[in-house]
Chain A
Amino acid sequence: MAVTAPNQPTRPGFGAFLWDLFTTSDHKKVGMIYLVTSFVVFGVAGLMAVLIRWQLHAPEQTFLVGDTYNRILTLHGASMLFYFIIPAGLSGFGNFILPLMLGERDVALPRINAFAAWLFVFSMLIIYASLFFGGAPDVGWTFYYPFSKVQGPGTDFFMVGVLLVGLSSLLGSANFAATVYNLRTKGMGLWKMPIFVWSIFATSMLSLFALAGITAASLTVFLSRKLDLTLFNSGIGGDPVLYQQFFWFYSHPAVYIMLLPYLGIAAEIASTFARKPVFGYRFMVFALVGIAVVGFLVWAHHMFTVGESLLFQLVFVFFTALVAVPTGVKIFSLLGTLWGGQLDFKTPLLFVMGFMFNFLLGGITGVMLAVVPFDYQVQDSYFVVAHFHNVLMAGSGFLAFAGLYYWWPKITGRMYPERWGKIHFWLFLVGYLVTFMPQYVLGFLGMPRRYYTYPDGLYLWNQLNFASTVGAFILALGGIAWLIAMIQSFRQNVKAPDNPWGGHTLEWATSSPPPSYNFAVNFPTVFKSERPLYDWEKEGLKPTPINPATIHLPAPTVWPFMTAVGLFITGIGLALPWTSGGFINGWLVVGILTFIYSLFRWALRPEYDVPVHHHTVTGKSNAWVGMAWFIVSEIALFGILIAGYLYLRLTGHAVPPEERPALWLALLNTFFLVSSSFTVHYAHHDLRTGKLSAFRLGLLISIVLGAIFFLFQIYEFTTFLHHVDYTQQLWANAFLLIVGLHGAHVVIGGTGLSLAYAQGLAGKITPHEQGTLEGSSMYWHLVDAVWLFIVCIFYIW
């Protein structure tokens, strides 16, 4: 889309608005999809919390009983974590603000980005769709095996939703990593990026490495429900605790995924409202990275009570306590940033102050929980509930609102009423403390979490629970104040200036809201610090205007959206029983067809209508860098599952059966797969040298070799299942799970190659526009490498 001079668009109709939303790949609109979804989810899940508190306001209440209560608490937890606190900061503000801060027009992979956003929305709809198919999940957001295996069908929807939101999150993170890596305005070095950009970068790397944990956990639980395929069944030597290792390998780092972007927001806000640079920029960056690294070594502190050895526990005690150090650095840096400033206590800064106070409490109680003998006593008690709400709700959650108020003028182009913002803050702070401080005490008095009822007469339980419920209602009032603030902002319609707070990062160097192309200027290329606007003002440097008509943006297309729709329908089909009356369920058929069709249409739609030269910082294409980051997560996924297998094998639980899958077949298959890697490589080479027909032939041979591999694998599985009952044989479970997952990757990789082949046939691929091939061939090599590993540990050993 070539952009003509900015003009005030006439108000579009609702249909046109929706069509624009479905076809856009503008990072700002994508950011809005995330922001609107996540803040709406916050409201809904917040109301669930009020319901929970209402049930608990007095002993022996019958408002929400048993499974109904468990459903509400599961939806509350899952919604708040997966659909509010993770996406609001990382995907919402990340998408809207990060390219602006980098002085760029868009993210590295705008269409993937739009696809990820819709997949995110649909994954949530899948989880909520369970309400219409036999009830919401009731297994807690942690869905522990074997509990999650025996509960109702809502869990299937939950698992599919978690898998898809994980995929969305991976694509989003790979996209952010590639953006920060590849797209920065000229002259902005890594060490001159704003802290918020650093925080998004660190968070993306964290999720790329960690997400595999929850993919492994939800996949294995899902397969155990659908096919009885499991590594955890203690009846055949499996280990239920292994599930928890998988789960927390993601879900603890996820705590930092839920925190780091917000720490970035806090630093930006403190700096702006104190009118000073951040204190100890490098220390802040090191602290962010430090949290990301140490965050990987603390997961087992969620499972101190599963009976692991003392040594194992001690390692995790140490790192759990240690992670307090970099988080402490963040607090001190914030204080240092405010020190000596001219503090303007607008709503965003108030929320940052509220965060600091609450996060301090949460940090202290976090270190207390690392003291294992104490942890044993308060495991899964209200002490823990109060602790994680302290860090997540009054910590990250407060900063989500700080960010919302801070960037509200930039995003909406309107100021918000300061008075209502402040009322919102104070109600939230007081409400928070009244709700959760009694819960700390309840922890000492032994009240467990996830209880829908308690008897009358336990010392102080009635009083403290009642107080906590009162607090929940104060929080609800705060929510109303927040709604008023937003509605008033639209009604009063006070136009926001470009830079209402006097910020010094690049998002303030464009209009509010920004035009679709973000900037119609070339920025100076001198970056002295992370505050370019401040430095340029001091040195008298000015951006040079360019003609917006020369700017090209990605063309709108509906196919990323439709691809996500395909996955949505497929997801429902996967969650429902797969066959009924001998027929495959219709959802699956329609979903898969929609998905495949849309995917090919997408691949055949060039990103730009006119040839555009892409400048990237590294010189590598965005597709290449994006896929390189994505592959990290794939390696992690196989790594985790294989680690689980090695553990079961080495402890003597997973013993291969007498009749194992034949080695000769595996070696033959190895030959096919390795050859296909070579043919892909040469095809790619031919494309770069412009030999198009050789390229097409090479690609076709690779796809055929992949197909042969896959057919042989089906044959192998069929014969294997013929003489081994895998439900009674742990090794067979591991084999089918991991080798089968690899087979699924062959299909995915083959589809990727087919997309490139289709582009080749349609003449849509050129030596300069070959992102699909670059991505899929790299992926194909990964599939190949993983296979070699699998041959060693499953066929030879």
Chain B
Amino acid sequence: MLQRIGVITALVLGLALAASPGQVGNHVLDILNPSTSYNREVGYLLRWVLAFAAVVFVVVTGLMTYVTLKFRRTGRETGEPVQFHGNDRIEVLSIIIPTLIVFIIFGLTAQSMFKLDRIPPGAMTVEVKGWRYWWDYHYPEQGIRNSSELIVPVGKPLVLEVTGGDVIHSYRITSLVGTQDAIPGFTTRIIVTPEKVGDYYGQCVELCGASHANMRFRVKVVPQETFDRFVQEAKAYQAPPPSDPTLAKGESLFKANCAGCHALKGVSPVNPATLQNPDLTFFGNRTTLGSGMWPNTPQYLEAWIKDAPGLKPGIRMPAFPQLSSADVKAIADYLLSHKLEGLDFNFPESQRY
């Protein structure tokens, strides 16, 4: 028990010291953001439901208020109140009216569900896989893989095939579309056509472990030309040979310490082991680090490499206390040097949803 307390205290203190505030926030999350037909449909449904709700709310609270004011005991009453046991007409109405409302709401819901379940022609499929505590993306039609940040073209219908790698997660792009669970061995489907370019904040919404709250991601909705360029460059990408001694040192440290778990095209191949951890090819294009947590800058990246589990409890990646600061810096520089040319997925604050 004491040991436990010690571990927890160390963890808490460690986090307090290490986590300089500065996780990436600054998004305006809004499930009713009219950026997709999905959200507009929900807005339309809610208008109906809330209209009925308002009527019911006003009627019931009105009656409650009236009853409270009118029938409050004054102490001046003589005798008992009228002892009536019910009123058939009111009782039947109190069943029929709510039933009618329920039927209307059911009809509207059913209609929307069928509508939203249709896959528009020309849709692009992306496979989404949740792991503790990050998300992996495969583009089967383009043959590329990217982790933590999903890059998709604006205006193109998407089918996201969601599954889980270890336990059940749940995939939500808050301002874009509804959630589906990521269940090991099964596939669920999200259909959406993003209509607005921007940086969308995403999160895991099924309790999956210590860092459930830290299992964030970003969806970058970019113009079609940008996307095409991304696909073209990503497919062709091979890690270039190190151009200076620091990078060469970084590469050898990467091979010694990181390559067992992380794939990096041209240096560390994709295999069953590396498939279970984030792919670090063109890592320099990531805007965030640690699965949507921190800005992807050398400062944060070095802190991360040194002590990832201290920053994000419960993750598989170990701390590397044995690496010197220079070593860590070399690895960070090396990782950040892997970049697709001419592509920048940072968005101004006004475009973060």
Contact = CB atoms under 8 A, between A and B. Distances in A.
Contact of A446 (B15, B26, B29, B116): B29
A740 to B, nearest CB: 25
Interface in B50-87: 50, 53, 56-57, 60-61, 63-64, 67-68, 71-73, 77, 80-87
B102 interface: yes
12 contacts: A60-B21, A139-B207, A275-B80, A279-B86, A280-B87, A307-B180, A307-B183, A321-B105, A328-B94, A367-B53, A367-B105, A371-B105
The 4 closest A-B pairs by CB, nearest first: A234-B185, A376-B178, A457-B25, A66-B210
A454 B213 contact: yes
B187 A353 contact: no
B119 interface: no
Given A378-B31, A380-B179, 9 more contacts: A60-B23, A70-B209, A147-B167, A279-B86, A280-B86, A332-B91, A360-B57, A446-B201, A455-B24
A368 B45 CA distance: 9
Contacts of A364: 53, 56-57
Given A279-B85, A356-B64, A445-B30, A456 B25 contact: yes
Given A283-B91, A338-B67, A448-B205, A60 B49 contact: no
Contacts, number: 306
Contact of B72 (A146, A150, A307, A345): A345
Nearest to A529: B85
Given A360-B56, A456-B23, A376 B99 contact: no
B98 interface: yes
A455 B94 contact: no
Contacts of B187: 307
Nearest to B33: A446
B170 interface: yes
A60 B18 CA distance: 12
Interface residues of B, number: 100
Interface in A348-395: 353, 356-357, 360-361, 364, 367-368, 370-381
Contact of B183 (A65, A132, A135, A241): A241
A379 B179 contact: yes
A381 B174 CA distance: 10
Given A373-B42, A444-B30, A450-B212, A70 B170 contact: no
Contact of A329 (B94, B177, B201): B94
Contact of A374 (B46, B71, B167, B205): B46
B67 A360 contact: no
B306 interface: no
Contacts of B204: 448
B49 A368 contact: yes
Contact of A372 (B82, B109, B185): B109
Interface of B: 1, 4, 8, 11-12, 15-16, 19, 21, 23-32, 38-39, 41-42, 45-46, 49-50, 53, 56-57, 60-61, 63-64, 67-68, 71-73, 77, 80-87, 90-91, 94-95, 98-99, 102, 105-106, 108-110, 112-114, 116-117, 166-168, 170, 172, 174-175, 177-181, 183-189, 201, 203-214, 293, 313-314
A539 to B, nearest CB: 14
B64 A353 contact: yes
A340 B82 contact: yes
A281 interface: yes
Contact of A376 (B12, B50, B179, B210): B179
A147 B208 contact: yes
A335 B186 contact: no
Given A144-B206, A335-B63, A445-B29, A240 B172 contact: no
A452 B213 contact: yes
Contacts of A340: 71, 81-82, 84
Given A62-B16, A70-B207, A310-B114, A451 B213 contact: yes
A14 interface: no
Contacts of A343: 67-68, 71-73
A277 interface: yes
Contact of A146 (B27, B106, B166, B293): B166
A458 interface: yes
A314 interface: yes
Contact of A377 (B24, B42, B98, B110): B42
A336 interface: yes
A310 to B, nearest CB: 6
B45 A140 contact: no
A458 B178 contact: no
Given A66-B313, A321-B105, A150 B71 contact: no
Contacts of B82: 276, 340
Nearest to A379: B179
A555 interface: no
A335 B91 CA distance: 11
A537 to B, nearest CB: 11
A379 B174 CA distance: 11
A520 B155 CA distance: 81
Contacts of A234: 183-186
Contacts of B170: 305, 379-380
Interface string A424-453: 000000000000000000001111111111
Interface centre among B25, B98, B207 (most CB of A within 10 A): B207
A321 B101 CA distance: 9
A65 B12 contact: yes
A281 B88 CA distance: 11
A448 B210 contact: no
Max chain B Cβ within 10 angstroms of own Cβ: one of A147, A452, A453: A147
A60 B19 contact: yes
A147 B109 contact: no
A321 B99 CA distance: 9
A380 B102 contact: no
A268 to B, nearest CB: 15
B185 A240 contact: yes
A373 B67 contact: no
A451 to B, nearest CB: 4
A356 B113 contact: no
B28 A339 contact: no
